[in-house]
Structure formats: structure tokens, C-alpha cells
């Protein structure tokens, strides 16, 4: 993915991908996929926060 996408391009891409996925799977699988992606996002946020904390602590 191009890392130079602006915020609007990024959210538009994510929206289009979400719509495409939702058209290919049934409601039960869609609900499960949503829960999985939520957990992935939450876990990535924790990892990013922990890295930031460690970087600040180690650079003191």
C-alpha cells in the first residue's frame, strides 16, 4: 500500500474494501470478521503504545 495516501484516500480505500468483503460473505462470517479485525486493531494499538512508552523510557 502506498504510504503517501492522505487521510481521505486511506478512509475511502478502507471503506471500499469493507463493502467488497461484505458482499462476499454471509452475515455470520461478516460479524466474526468484524470482531477479528476489531481485536487486531486493539492489539496493534497496545503494541504501538508499548513501543512508544519503551522508546521514551529508554531515551531518557
Q: What would the grid cell of residue 41 be?
A: 486493531
Sign, CA dihedral 16-19-22-27, equals positive
pLDDT at 59: 84
pTM: predicted TM-score of the whole model, two decimal places: 0.73
Task: Please write the tens of the pLDDT for every residue from 7-40.
Answer: 999 999 999 999 999 999 999 999 999 999 999 9
9 touches 17 (CB < 8 A): no
Give the Cα separation of 10 and 25 in Å (integer). 23
Amino acid at each position: 500500500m502506498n504510504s503517501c495516501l492522505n487521510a481521505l484516500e486511506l478512509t475511502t480505500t478502507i471503506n471500499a474494501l469493507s463493502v467488497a468483503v461484505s458482499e462476499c460473505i454471509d452475515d455470520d462470517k461478516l460479524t466474526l470478521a468484524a470482531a477479528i479485525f476489531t481485536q487486531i486493531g486493539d492489539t496493534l494499538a497496545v503494541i504501538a503504545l508499548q513501543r512508544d512508552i519503551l522508546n521514551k523510557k529508554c531515551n531518557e
